[in-house]
Amino acid sequence: MTHHDVIVLGGGAAGLSAALALGRARRRVLVLDEGRPRNRFAAHMHTVLGHEGLDPAELLERGRAEVARYGIEVRPGRAVEVRDTGETDVRLRVVTHEGEELATRALVLATGLTDHLPDVPGLAERWGTRVLHCPYCHGWEVRGERLAVLLTSHAGLHQAELVRQWSDDLTVLAGEVEVPALAAARLASRGVQIVSGKLTSVEDSADGGLAVRTAAGAVHVVDAIFVASRAVPNDGALANLGLERAELPGGQGSFLAVDPTGRTSHERIWAAGNVTSPALGVAASAGAGTIAGGMVNMALVVAEFDAAERALAAQTSGA
Ligand SMILES: Cc1cc2nc3c(=O)[nH]c(=O)nc-3n(C[C@H](O)[C@H](O)[C@H](O)COP(=O)(O)OP(=O)(O)OC[C@H]3O[C@@H](n4cnc5c(N)ncnc54)[C@H](O)[C@@H]3O)c2cc1C
* 125 and 142 assigned to the same domain: yes
The CATH number given to whatever domain includes residue 102 is 3.50.50.60
* 221 and 307 assigned to the same domain: no
* 174 and 268 assigned to the same domain: no
* 65 and 21 assigned to the same domain: yes
CA angle 301, 303, 306 (to 5 degrees): 110
Q: Which of 263, 261, 262, 269 is nearest to 240 (CA)?
A: 269
* 34 and 107 assigned to the same domain: yes
How high is the pLDDT of residue 139? 97
* 13 and 66 assigned to the same domain: yes
* 97 and 44 assigned to the same domain: yes
- With b meaning 16 or more CB within 10 Å and e meaning fewer, what string describes 74-90? beebbbebbeeeeeeeb
* 32 and 13 assigned to the same domain: yes
Q: Are 146 and 222 in contact (CB under 8 A)?
A: yes
How high is the pLDDT of residue 318? 78
- Is the distance from the beta carbon of residue 82 to the nearest atom of ligand 1 less than 6 Å? no
How high is the pLDDT of residue 319? 66
- Is the distance from the beta carbon of residue 11 to the nearest atom of ligand 1 less than 6 Å? yes
**Which residue's CA is the nearest one to ligand 1's atom 8?**
45
- Give the end of a domain, one of 178, 195, 227: 227
The Å distance, Cα 141 to ligand 1 centre, comes to 21
The Å distance, Cα 231 to ligand 1 centre, comes to 12
* 132 and 161 assigned to the same domain: yes
* 61 and 202 assigned to the same domain: no
The Å distance, Cα 113 to ligand 1 centre, comes to 7
* Domains: count for the chain: 2
Substitution candidate for ligand 1 out of 102, 137, 255 with most atoms within 8 A of CB: 137
Ligand 1 atom at minimal distance to the Cα of residue 283: 11
Residues 6 or more apart in contact with residue 248 via CB below 8 angstroms = 254, 255, 277, 278
- Is the distance from the beta carbon of residue 107 to the nearest atom of ligand 1 less than 6 Å? no
**Which residue's CA is the nearest one to ligand 1's atom 47?**
36
Averaged pLDDT in 10-residue chunks for the chain of 319 residues: 93 98 98 98 97 98 98 98 95 97 98 97 97 96 98 93 98 95 97 96 96 95 96 98 94 94 98 97 98 98 97 88
- Give the end of a domain, one of 227, 246, 271: 227
Range of the domain at 82: 3-115+230-318
How high is the pLDDT of residue 252? 87
